[in-house]
Amino acid sequence: MDIDTSEIIGQSTSLKDVFKVLAKVAPTDSTVLVTGESGTGKELLVRALHRSSARKDKPFVPINCGAIPKDLLESELFGHEKGAFTHALRMRPGRFELADGGTIFLDEIGEMDLSLQVKILRVLQEKEIERVGGVGGKKVDVRVVAATNRDLEQAVLAGQFREDLFYRLNVIPLHLPPLRERGGDVSVLADYFLEGFCRKGGRKKIVFDPRAGAVLDHYSWPGNVRELENIMERLSILVDGNIVTLEDLPRKILDSAGDAAALVSAPAQGAPVAAAAGAAEAAARGFVWPALADLQKYRMNLRDFLEYIEEKLLKEALEISGGVKNQAAEALGIKRTTLIEKLKKRNME
Ligand SMILES: Nc1ncnc2c1ncn2[C@@H]1O[C@H](COP(=O)(O)OP(=O)(O)OP(=O)(O)O)[C@@H](O)[C@H]1O
Ligand SMILES: [Mg+2]
């Protein structure tokens, strides 16, 4: 069976390794435990798993075990009989019953109370649930997939997670590496999200200048893909012009970047994009014509590259002329009306 990971963007080997395991485990009924830091795409992966399984036309029922108060979680999961407790005015099926034939996704399983953990273990072993206030079990055919951002082995040692349940869940472990360990995926994801948000916002595609791109690559992304996605949304709204420059990046990222920016601005010989990034530096080193390799190195196509250089020069001309357009146009050797047109096109007025 083909697996459908189309929504999960990335080309790193570490992500491809996860897909390989996914392809093997998806068609089975095995229990899967997905681990990974917050924002690494655990939910996305679990949804892909369900979509790629024989159960795909049956329900996918997620439940966040960390978000539901522990008194309510049991009846959410297993349902309750009429009169089981004060407000139980009628019988209500639980999520396991709703997921019959399909997949239940126990998200944040690490937050589950020890007493409930026993009951989950029982479902996994007996394939049977018992409603709160009910007598006798009811058979269910449900595949269980769980996820957590906690280190469950550690939780077991600390007595917060049942060892037997851990082993029962961990039949097939799927670990999503943090974004900082997915070499190259940062730029792929950044482009993907930025393009998507620009399209949604009805604006032209914007691109990163090499320094901004390098800083993003070096950042540690503690909030992983979610953090990256949110920042791209912000940039798609706030950036003037068609190029994301260093100054556009959030303070937090710039501060953590340290010398990453300097790395790019003082490149080895013959890195002309960086030369374009600082006219003074270029003058000091002597101008070097761009080569095709530069486009590849900075993942720009010809058009983006030329746009980038033009925008840099426009900005500099405006700066030295203190915003006086006549002077800026003169410095650039173009007509005032042409300058205005170019600025308009970039929302730089
Ligand atoms: N590889 C990816 N490609 C595209 N989008 C992604 C990718 N990974 C994560 N996302 C997006 O990032 C956000 C966070 O992903 P998700 O909710 O799956 O993470 P999580 O690991 O479940 O996080 P948490 O532990 O905080 O619950 C979502 O908007 C998701 O669509
Ligand atoms: Mg999640």
Q: Report pLDDT digits (tens) over 20-69.
A: 999 999 999 999 999 999 999 999 999 999 999 999 999 999 999 999 99
User: Which residues have CB under 8 Å from 109's CB, separation 6+?
Assistant: 33, 65, 146, 147, 148, 152, 169
Residue pLDDT, tens place only, 59-68: 999 999 999 9
The ligand 1 atom at the shortest distance from the C-alpha of residue 46 is 18
Residues 162 and 46 grouped into a single domain: yes
- Please tell me the distance from the alpha carbon of residue 37 to that of residue 176, in angstroms, as a whole number: 8
Burial class (CB in 10 A: 0-12, 13-18, 19+), 64: middle
pLDDT band at residue 262, thresholds of 50, 70 and 90?
Answer: low
Positive or negative torsion for Cα 333, 338, 341, 342: negative
Residues 95 and 157 grouped into a single domain: yes
Domain count, the chain: 2
> What's the confidence (pLDDT) of residue 266?
41
Name residue 63's beta-bridge partners: 106
Would 4 be classed as within a structural domain?
no
- Please identify, among 231, 259, 287, the residue that sits at the C-terminal boundary of a domain: 259
Residues 158 and 196 grouped into a single domain: no
Would 49 be classed as within a structural domain?
yes
Which helix (DSSP H) or strand (DSSP E) does residue 114 occupy?
helix 114-126
Burial class (CB in 10 A: 0-12, 13-18, 19+), 262: exposed
Residues 168 and 192 grouped into a single domain: no
| Long-range pairs, 293-302, Cβ under 8 A, ≥24 | 297/271, 297/273, 298/210, 298/213, 298/273, 299/187, 299/191, 299/213, 300/207, 300/273
Which helix (DSSP H) or strand (DSSP E) does residue 60 occupy?
strand 60-64
> What's the confidence (pLDDT) of residue 302?
86
Which ligand has its closest atom nearest to the C-alpha of 178? 1
Which helix (DSSP H) or strand (DSSP E) does residue 146 occupy?
strand 143-148
Listed residues: CB within 5 A of ion ligand 2: 43
pLDDT band at residue 83, thresholds of 50, 70 and 90?
Answer: confident
Q: Whose CA is nearest to atom 26 of ligand 1?
A: 38
DSSP secondary structure string for all residues of 301-322: -HHHHHHHHHHHHHHHHHHHTT
- Please identify, among 259, 276, 294, the residue that sits at the C-terminal boundary of a domain: 259
Q: How far is the CA of 293 from the centre of ligand 2 (A)?
A: 40
Would 33 be classed as within a structural domain?
yes
Q: Are 332 and 339 in contact (CB under 8 A)?
A: yes
CATH, residue 87: 3.40.50.300
- Please tell me the distance from the alpha carbon of residue 50 to that of residue 22, in angstroms, as a whole number: 10
Pocket of ligand 1 (CB under 6 A): 8-10, 36, 38-44, 149, 225-226, 229
CATH, residue 254: 1.10.8.60
- Give me the domain span that covers residue 199: 183-259
Would 333 be classed as within a structural domain?
no
Residues 190 and 234 grouped into a single domain: yes
Residue pLDDT, tens place only, 291-316: 887 777 767 788 878 888 898 899 88
pTM to 2 decimal places: 0.79
**Nearest Cα residue to 317 out of 288, 296, 299, 340:** 340
Residues 169 and 211 grouped into a single domain: no
Burial class (CB in 10 A: 0-12, 13-18, 19+), 237: exposed
